[in-house]
Structure 1
Amino acid sequence: MTRRKVGGMAPTTHLVHVFPDGPGGGNPAPIVLDADPMSDEEMREVARTHGQESAFVLSAEPPFDFALRFWVPNHEMPMCGHATVGAVHTLHRLGLLAKDRLTISTPSGPVDALITDGNVEISQPQGTVATVPTTDVVNVLGITAADLAPYPIQNASTSRVKTLIPLASPKILDGLTPDFARVRELCDELGSTGLYPYAQSGDQAFDARQFPRSSGYPEDPATGIAAAALAYGLLENRLIDPERPIHVRQGRAMGRPSRITLRLTPTNLWLGGAVS
């Protein structure tokens, strides 16, 4: 069976900013093309050098158009939403894609991608949602129960589990000062890969922040997989109309404003946003 390659040259790195929503915004993502010859340690070194989630484009067997692997400074990840969007955008911009609908092999499973007028969306499977205890989450975030919105704290997942923490206002969200030394321990107790506090900011609009379990940095300016998980938590809480797009803003407290747009369907979810 013929393996499909994208590019066909030595590995090259392209830095993009995914989901920007203003000057300095978005989540930087190094995209490495033609990464087949690279070892695990070489991939990890790219992530360490840039201090960011990095995506590596590899050849794949049909029916996949190509494969992706993802590394953060501390470890490999099964899926990274913004890096996948960034990789598809980079390949499209360079004229290396022959079609506008793609199937990508990732460690978490197949991911579809759509390109419409240069805009990229990627698929995520239907999410799972479960309620989790409140006390330790409140303590680690440095807030009180009065700062919470009247909805449960939830573990939700499409590709990786994120702990969704509903707050009473965007102001409380922006003012969070977590005890970062305890984030990993709490995530381990909850079976989560990151804390994702959020607050409603408008009609179908929500602000969020992500404090990852152990990525090698304390906060993430735009997290597609967490936003996808949030969409299913919001659906469970009846806070959204599933027939209309959902907008999640992130990164503002870091000075890196970002916006992720999500669309729910009866069978899955699509997430996308700007790339620069």
Structure 2
Amino acid sequence: MALTYHILDVFTERPFGGNPVAVVLGADRLSTAEMQTVAREFNLSETVFVLASTSPGHTARIRIFTPTRELPFAGHPTIGVAVLLAELRSPLGNGHGDAIIALEEEIGSVRVGVRTRAGAASFGEFDAPKVANPVEALSEPEQIAASVGLIPAEIGFENHKPTLIRGVPVFAYVPVANLEAMAKVRVAPQHWARAFADRGILGVYLYTRQCVRVQSAFHARMFAPEIGVPEDPATGSAAATFAYVVQEFDALPDGMHKRAIEQGFEMGRPSAIALTMSVSRGKLDGVRIGGYAVRVAEGVLQV
């Protein structure tokens, strides 16, 4: 069976930055085991398989795999596949185009607005799934510091402390004092399991207010070794639930708030994630994640 695939770099306006994702089209005849094998072959943080939609009003159904497991939802694959489908199905006529791509994901329906412009990277933005569970404190700073190769004094800044959010997936959020400490972060396997994996935490998202780019509000790194992602250049799903961490500690006033998150710099793949938060009566009532995506490769997969 021959299937067309594309590789896109997401959360970047330029090729070879951001987070790459492989998108396999027409994958309806592949089994789950075959999808997992293909994802392991690409060995990117995620590979997306596009299938025919099963619900009216949807553009496509998608399934998302890391090299070791399937995910019910992920941010950069959602934007990447939406941008690709918009570009393939709605070629530019006058140089401008806008589309709504409705995706069936394992978590449910996700609608992505895509803006295309001739000669420029396309931009996609989606409403993030809401998180019902509150922010939980992680109260072992020594253990957390040891698991990421830092000392306890380098964990935390201002009133920000380590937290856990049981969203989809489950992320730990670890504030780091500054960029110097962020550059030293390394996974320490002998401490990682006790601090994170044994609690069902899928990924660990470290962040600081010190940034490389002046337009950024936060600098982040994300590690998920348990699912075959040693480090991720840009993590839309983690940024989506990070909004709840921001509201927990920064107590944003009612209204719309935009924050730019930079990630991937330590990996040589600079990424920019647009986080938009709507606050009403002191609580988050909406989160949107946006970013650019560019196609960098395509080919035929023999399965």
- TM category (shorter chain) comes to 0.7 to 0.9
Q: Partner letter of residue 253 of structure 1? A: E
**Mapped partners of 1:158, 1:247: distance in 2:** 21
Cα RMSD after superposing both structures: 2.4
After the TM superposition, which residues 70-81 of structure 1 pair with which residues of structure 2 at under 5 Å, given as runs? 70-81=64-75
Structure 1 stretch displaced more, 124-133 or 192-201: 124-133
- Which structure 2 segments of 5+ residues have no match? 92-96, 117-121, 280-284, 295-303
Q: In the alignment, what sits opposite 1:145?
A: 152
Aligned to 2:223: 211
**Is 1:249 aligned with 2:248?**
no
- Aligned counterpart, 1:166: 175
Point out 4+ residue stretches in structure 1 off by more than 6 angstroms: none
2:225–2:231 contact (8 Å) kept in structure 1: no
Preserved contact between residue 24 and residue 257 of structure 1 (Cα < 8 Å): no
Aligned residues: 268
Amino acid in structure 2 at the alignment position of 1:119: F
Whose strand proportion is higher, 1 or 2?
Answer: 2
Q: How is 1:227-266 mapped onto 2 (pairs within 5 angstroms)?
A: 227-238=239-250, 243-266=256-279
1:24 aligns with 2:13: no
In structure 2, the partner of 1:4 is none
How far is the alpha carbon of 1:180 from its aligned partner? 3.7
Distance 1:215 1:181, change over 3 A: farther
SS of 1:151's partner is: coil
Give 1:183 shift. Answer: 3.1
Q: Percent identity?
A: 30
Provide structure 1 residue ranges, at least 5 long, that are not aligned to the other structure.
1-8
Contact kept? 2:149, 2:188, Cα under 8 Å? yes
- Cα 1:246–1:116 shift into 2, 3 Å: same
Which stretch has the larger CA shift, 25-34 or 108-117? 108-117
User: How do residues 1-276 of structure 1 correspond to structure 2 at under 5 angstroms?
Assistant: 11-20=3-12, 24-52=16-44, 53-60=46-53, 61-95=55-89, 100-117=99-116, 118-127=122-131, 128=133, 129-134=135-140, 135-148=142-155, 149=157, 150-180=159-189, 182-201=191-210, 205-238=217-250, 243-266=256-279, 267-276=285-294
- Higher mean alpha-carbon deviation, 199-208 vs 83-92, is at 199-208
Partners of 2:41 and 2:250 lie apart in 1 by: 42
Rg larger for: 2
Superposition TM-score, scaled by structure 2 size = 0.81
Superposed displacement of residue 96, structure 1 = 5.5
